[in-house]
Structure 1
Amino acid sequence: MKIMAFGIGILTAFITMNAVAEIMTEEQEKAYEQQKKQRKKEAFVKAPDVIASYANSIGCIFNLNPENIVEFPEGGNRLFAVFSIDVGCSGGSNMSRPVFVELELSIASMQYYINFEHSGPSQTPMSIPQTVEKIYVKDEKLWYSALEHDWNKDGICCPSVPVTAELKFENGMWIGVPVDLPGNKKTRN
Structure 2
Amino acid sequence: MIQKFSIAAFSLAVLIMVGCDKPGDTPIAPYKLSYGDSIFYIKNAAGDVLISPTEVRSGIYTGFPEGIEIDETNGQVNVSKSETGLRYRITFKDAVTGDTSSTIILVSGINYYDKIYNLSNNDTTVVPVYNASTSRTIPANSVFDEGNGCNSVGVAVDINAATINIAQTIRNGLFGTVPKTVK
TM-score over 0.5 (shorter chain): no
Which interval holds the TM-score relative to the shorter structure? under 0.3
Indicate the structure with greater strand content. Answer: 1
Task: Give the TM-score normalised by the residue count of structure 2.
Answer: 0.27
Indicate the structure with greater helix content. Answer: 1
